[in-house]
């Protein structure tokens, strides 16, 4: 019953998200209305937070971790837009009982030891190269709007940070993304 | 005592059941109230559990929206809950306690901020606040606040009212049972009391019956005496005649030598004596007090034997005609009662014929059909008079005890009731037929007996003296005349008689001389010792010496018979004396031989 309600409301959320964002944007007096500067200043801490929180909604295949206590490693490839916000978020969270750690890297492949990779702009490895290198591996690739898409692709709708999910890519890597997370996505590329 | 103790203990027991009923009612009430309280508690616990589960589910579903700040998704989840009518309000709060999604029904309010806490019942609502945590980590993401409608107390009470009604009904049933039991107890006590009263009155009735039976017995006896009284006049007259015959005969005997004339005179005297003896023996038998002693007898002979008595007890202007055929069947009756019954009917007939008349006594063999008063063969004895007769009403009541038409002092009203009693005790039947002016016929039906005739009473033997015997007899007799006569009779029989005039004198004689073959003693004598005591004493001192007693008193005779003593009733003739002496000697001889 609740499960049914959740999926129904999940689809409703996805369909209604844009309309709500527009409504909020068209109401300048609203408490939620924020200036562009404020929005931009909040955007990356929110994304940093999400990046950490994704870990709790994703299930990696067992070989991805050495031990049950092995940390979930979040790597930022290339330029780091999060700064200390990511480290704070990582420190404040756990995922499935595992600690979360953040690493900055300039190049990535399947053997780098990352579980989540924020694919930024790196001088050593282009975003497309990185995504190709990680395709089909149990590494959750996160990309930002305006570039190629990873498994999770951030978008800003209205004044809110949202995301698209490519569940097919995730399943190719042996990962399972919680339906609860899928229900929040703006769009979901279903498993083939 | 025991009779009064039983209801007492019952009274003690009586309040027990109502007490039990009351206790049961109390127990039921307590059980009902505790059940309601328990149910209430159970209901609250269940509600809390339901709300908690609901909140847990909500917390799990809003974890992701809270983690990714998706208020819209959270709101969708919250509104999905609105389909449940029990949910009054839902709030979702972020990790800082600020509300991010909510749903309220009309009239409900939600706090704008929330803090975790225990479930709270308030105003018909149950508020549950549950933390939203990240799955698997316990990482706090926010809170959900759920408020559910609690079924109103009134409705719950309504539900309990069903149970209450059952309890009430059970209580009423118990109360009714209790009251019923108490009533039943009272009714039982009442019944017991009545049964006791009944037993009491029954006992009284039995006592009265016994007293009445005694009184009736006494009256019967007195009635007999009354009849005897009636007889006495006639009997005295008759005896005077007999004595006249005897004394004049003796006078004439002295004055004539003609043997033929003397023999005629002697025969006349003897006949007079026999009539006198017959009269006295009948009187004695009549006044004897005895239990019913059924004998098989020939009615004709019995009635014939009564003729003399009837002649004496009726008046001279009344004739008695007997019509008794030969070959009547034997009947089993108490002879004395029978004679009294005939006499009673005859006396009644006499009284019904103040100017004289005829009494006809007839008998015949008859046969009764099945269902008649005396079925089978019976002998019908009818006593018919030519008197004034009776009306139907009187005839119908004539056998009732104490019913009499005679004036005070002239009749007891028991005469015909004795007849009725006799007929009944003989398994027979009696009926009276009468019409005014045409006389009365009383019929007694007595069933035929198939037993042999009872031994006939000893009839006078031959008048010749028995064979001469030898022996010595000690005669104890206070009356000189009797003593002289009896010693002559004994001498005639061949015995030598010595005489003692008292029992003491007799014992003295025996002390000196025991060579007697028999002691022949009168029973009623002056002095300390009577004949009975003497006989016992002799039996003790000289066991081989036979004793023969004689008396004219029927009562004394009965006592002697009770002691097993040999007895000769006065008056007796020489033949009877010879036989009695011989029998006494023989008996003593055999008992001595066997001893």
Q: Nearest CA to CA, how far is A123 from chain B (Å)? A: 31
Q: Nearest CA to CA, how far is A124 from chain B (Å)? A: 32
- For residue B368, whether the previous peptide bond is cis, meaning omega lies within 30 degrees of 0, is no
Nearest Cα residue to A3 out of A180, A188, A177, A182: A180
How confident is the model at residue A6, as a pLDDT?
Answer: 39
Q: Nearest CA to CA, how far is A96 from chain B (Å)? A: 5
Interface size A-B, in CB pairs within 8 Å, comes to: 73
- In eight-state DSSP terms, residue B510 is H
- In eight-state DSSP terms, residue B97 is S
| Helices B335-352, B259-287: inter-axial angle, 10-degree rounding | 100
Q: Nearest CA to CA, how far is B48 from chain A (Å)? A: 19
Nearest CA in chain B to A97: B137
Q: What percent of chain A is modeled with pLDDT above 90? A: 48
Nearest Cα residue to B550 out of B582, B573, B524, B574: B524
Sketch the domain layout of chain B as residue ranges.
16-151, 290-447, 471-594
Place of tokens 């709101």: B75
B181: Cα within 13 Å, side-chain hemisphere: 18
**Alpha helices, H only, chain A:** 2-25, 36-54, 84-92, 127-134, 167-172, 179-182
Nearest CA in chain A to B65: A184
Residues of A whose CB is below 8 A from B82 = none
How confident is the model at residue A7, as a pLDDT?
Answer: 40
How confident is the model at residue A165, as a pLDDT?
Answer: 95
Place of tokens 């309890």: B167
Q: For residue A115, name the pLDDT band (cuts at 50, 70, 90).
A: very high
Look at A53 and B68 and tell me if their CB atoms are within 8 Å: yes
Q: At B112, is the secondary structure helix, strand, or coil?
A: coil
Q: DSSP string of B259-326?
A: HHHHHHHHHHHHHHHHHHHHHHHHHHHHH------EEEE-HHHHHHHHHHHHHHHS-TTEEEEEE--T
A163: exposed, middle or buried (Cβ count in 10 Å: 0-12, 13-18, 19+): buried
User: B510: which 2 tokens?
Assistant: 């025996």
Architecture of the domain delimited by B471-594: 3-Layer(aba) Sandwich (3.40)
Bin B409: left if φ > 0, else alpha if -120 < ψ < 50, else beta: left
Q: Regarding the domain with residue range B16-151, which homologous superfamily does it belong to in the CATH classification?
A: PAS domain (3.30.450.20)
Residues of A whose CB is below 8 A from B144 = none
Tell how strand B318-323 and strand A72-77 pair up. Answer: unpaired
- Distance from the Cα of residue B404 to its chain's centroid: 31
What are the CA-CA distances from residue A40 to residues A45, A161, B282 (Å)? 10, 11, 165
Distance between CA A131 and CA A173 in Å, rounded? 12
User: B572: which 2 tokens?
Assistant: 């007796």
Nearest Cα residue to A163 out of A10, A14, A11: A14
C-beta of residue A114 within 8 angstroms of C-beta of residue B153: no
Sign, CA torsion A111/A114/A117/A119: negative
How confident is the model at residue A187, as a pLDDT?
Answer: 93
User: B593: which 2 tokens?
Assistant: 């031989």
Largest CA distance in chain B: 185
C-beta of residue A118 within 8 angstroms of C-beta of residue A51: yes
Sketch the domain layout of chain A as residue ranges.
2-189
Residues of B whose CB is below 8 A from A93 = 134, 137, 139
How confident is the model at residue B153, as a pLDDT?
Answer: 73
C-beta of residue B387 within 8 angstroms of C-beta of residue B352: yes
Distance between CA A133 and CA B173 in Å, rounded? 89
Look at A178 and B64 and tell me if their CB atoms are within 8 Å: yes
C-beta of residue A114 within 8 angstroms of C-beta of residue A86: no
- In eight-state DSSP terms, residue B501 is S
Look at B80 and A10 and tell me if their CB atoms are within 8 Å: no
What are the CA-CA distances from residue B93 to residues B170, B264, B566 (Å)? 54, 168, 141
Q: Which of B74, B112, B137 has the highest number of chain A CBs within 10 A, making it the mutation to test binding with A?
A: B137
Distance between CA B385 and CA B382 in Å, rounded? 10
Look at A10 and B136 and tell me if their CB atoms are within 8 Å: no
How confident is the model at residue A137, as a pLDDT?
Answer: 93
Place of tokens 């004493």: B537
User: How high is the ipTM of this complex?
Assistant: 0.74
**What are the pLDDT digits (tens) for A24-83?**
333 444 444 455 566 567 889 999 999 999 998 999 998 888 888 899 999 999 989 998
How confident is the model at residue A95, as a pLDDT?
Answer: 86
Which long-range CB contacts under 8 A does B83-90 form with residues at least 24 apart? B83/A5, B84/B54, B85/B149, B86/B148, B86/B149, B87/B54, B87/B146, B87/B147, B87/B148, B87/B149, B88/B125, B88/B147, B88/B148, B88/B149, B89/B145, B89/B146, B89/B147, B90/B58, B90/B144, B90/B145, B90/B146, B90/B147
How confident is the model at residue B592, as a pLDDT?
Answer: 46
How confident is the model at residue B5, as a pLDDT?
Answer: 43
Note the pTM of the prediction, 2 decimals: 0.42
User: A126: which 2 tokens?
Assistant: 């282009």
What are the CA-CA distances from residue B231 to residues B6, B16, B318, B414 (Å)? 61, 76, 15, 17
Look at B134 and A10 and tell me if their CB atoms are within 8 Å: no
Show which residues on chain B lie within 8 Å of chain A, measured between beta carbons. Answer: 57-58, 61, 63-65, 67-70, 72-73, 76-77, 79-81, 83, 134-137, 139
How confident is the model at residue A3, as a pLDDT?
Answer: 40
Q: Which of A183, A185, A186, A188 has the highest number of chain B CBs within 10 A, making it the mutation to test binding with B?
A: A183
Q: Nearest CA to CA, how far is A50 from chain B (Å)? A: 6
User: A34: which 2 tokens?
Assistant: 């924020």
Task: Please tell me the class of the B290-447 domain.
Answer: alpha beta
Architecture of the domain delimited by A2-189: 3-Layer(aba) Sandwich (3.40)
**What are the pLDDT digits (tens) for B217-243?**
888 777 767 666 666 655 676 677 778
Look at B135 and A97 and tell me if their CB atoms are within 8 Å: no
Q: At A80, is the secondary structure helix, strand, or coil?
A: coil
Q: At A112, is the secondary structure helix, strand, or coil?
A: coil
Look at A56 and B73 and tell me if their CB atoms are within 8 Å: no
Nearest Cα residue to B566 out of B553, B552, B581, B578: B581
Residues of chain B with pLDDT under 50: 1-12, 289-291, 408-410, 412, 457-466, 592-595
Look at B77 and A9 and tell me if their CB atoms are within 8 Å: yes
Residues of B whose CB is below 8 A from A180 = 61, 63-64
Nearest Cα residue to A164 out of A175, A177, A149: A149
Residue A1 pLDDT exceeds 50: no
Nearest CA in chain B to A11: B73
- Distance from the Cα of residue B20 to its chain's centroid: 43
């Amino acid at each position: 019953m609740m499960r049914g309600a959740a999926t129904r409301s999940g689809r409703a959320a996805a369909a209604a998200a844009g309309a709500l964002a527009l409504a909020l944007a068209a109401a300048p007096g609203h408490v939620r209305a924020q200036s562009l500067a404020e929005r931009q200043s909040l955007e990356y801490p929110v994304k940093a937070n999400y990046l950490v929180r994704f870990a709790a909604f994703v299930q990696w295949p067992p070989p991805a971790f050495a031990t049950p206590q092995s940390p979930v490693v979040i790597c930022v490839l290339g330029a780091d837009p999060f700064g200390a916000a990511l480290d704070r978020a990582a420190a404040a969270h756990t995922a499935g009982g595992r600690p979360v750690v953040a690493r900055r890297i300039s190049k990535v492949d399947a053997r780098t030891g990352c579980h989540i990779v924020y694919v930024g702009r790196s001088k050593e490895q282009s975003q497309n190269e990185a995504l190709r290198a990680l395709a089909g591996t149990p590494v959750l690739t996160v990309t930002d709007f305006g570039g190629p898409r990873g498994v999770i692709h951030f978008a800003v709708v209205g004044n809110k940070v949202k995301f698209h999910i490519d569940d097919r890519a995730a399943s190719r890597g042996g990962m399972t993304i919680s339906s609860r997370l899928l229900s929040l996505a703006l769009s979901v590329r279903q498993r083939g | 005592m025991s009779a009064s103790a039983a209801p007492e203990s019952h009274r003690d027991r009586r309040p027990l059941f109502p007490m039990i009923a009351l206790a049961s009612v109390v127990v039921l009430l307590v059980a009902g109230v505790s059940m309601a309280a328990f149910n209430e508690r159970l209901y609250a616990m269940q509600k809390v559990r339901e709300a908690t589960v609901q909140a847990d589910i909500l917390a799990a579903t809003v974890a992701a929206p809270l983690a990714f700040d998706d208020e819209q998704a959270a709101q969708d989840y919250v509104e999905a809950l609105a389909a449940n009518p029990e949910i009054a309000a839902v709030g979702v709060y972020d990790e800082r306690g600020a509300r991010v999604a909510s749903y309220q029904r009309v009239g409900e309010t939600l706090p704008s901020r929330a803090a975790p806490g225990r479930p709270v019942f308030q105003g018909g609502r149950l508020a549950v606040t549950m933390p939203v945590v990240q799955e698997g980590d316990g990482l706090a993401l926010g809170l959900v606040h759920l408020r559910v409608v609690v079924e109103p107390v009134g409705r719950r009470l309504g539900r309990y009212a069903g149970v209450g009604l059952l309890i009430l009904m059970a209580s009423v049933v118990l109360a009714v049972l209790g009251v019923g039991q108490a009533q039943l107890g009272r009714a039982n006590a009442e019944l017991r009391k009545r049964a006791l009263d009944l037993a009491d009155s029954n006992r009284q009735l039995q006592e009265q019956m016994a007293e009445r039976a005694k009184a009736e017995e006494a009256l019967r006896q007195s009635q007999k005496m009354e009849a005897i009284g009636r007889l006495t006049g006639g009997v005295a007259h008759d005896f005077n005649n007999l004595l006249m015959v005897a004394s004049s005969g003796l006078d004439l005997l002295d004055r004539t030598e003609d043997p033929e004339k003397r023999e005629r005179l002697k025969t006349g005297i003897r006949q007079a004596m026999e009539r006198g003896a017959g009269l006295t023996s009948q009187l004695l038998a009549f006044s004897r007090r005895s239990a019913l002693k059924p004998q098989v007898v020939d009615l004709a002979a019995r009635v014939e034997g009564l003729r003399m008595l009837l002649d004496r007890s009726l008046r001279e202007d009344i004739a008695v005609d007997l019509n008794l055929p030969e070959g009547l069947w034997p009947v089993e009756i108490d002879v004395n009662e029978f004679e009294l019954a005939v006499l009673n009917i005859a006396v009644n007939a006499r009284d019904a014929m103040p100017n004289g008349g005829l009494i006809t006594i007839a008998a015949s063999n008859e046969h009764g059909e099945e269902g008649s008063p005396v079925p089978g063969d019976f002998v019908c004895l009818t006593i018919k008079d030519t008197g004034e007769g009776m009306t139907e009403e009187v005839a119908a009541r004539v056998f009732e005890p104490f019913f009499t038409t005679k004036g005070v002092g002239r009749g007891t009203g028991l005469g015909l009731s004795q007849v009725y009693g006799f007929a009944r005790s003989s398994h027979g039947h009696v009926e009276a037929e009468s019409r005014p002016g045409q006389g009365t016929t009383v019929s007694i039906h007595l069933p035929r007996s198939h037993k042999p005739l009872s031994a006939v009473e000893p009839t006078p033997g031959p008048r010749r003296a028995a064979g001469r015997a030898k022996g010595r007899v000690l005669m104890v007799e206070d009356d000189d005349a009797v003593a002289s006569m009896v010693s002559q009779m004994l001498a005639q029989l061949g015995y030598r008689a010595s005489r003692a005039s008292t029992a003491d004198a007799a014992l003295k004689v025996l002390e000196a001389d025991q060579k007697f073959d028999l002691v022949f003693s009168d029973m009623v004598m002056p002095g300390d010792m009577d004949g009975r005591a003497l006989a016992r004493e002799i039996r003790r001192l000289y066991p081989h010496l036979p004793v023969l007693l004689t008396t004219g008193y029927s009562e004394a005779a009965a006592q002697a018979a009770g002691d097993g003593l040999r007895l000769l009733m006065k008056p007796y003739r020489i033949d009877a004396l010879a036989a009695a002496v011989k029998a006494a000697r023989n008996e003593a001889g055999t008992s001595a031989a066997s001893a």
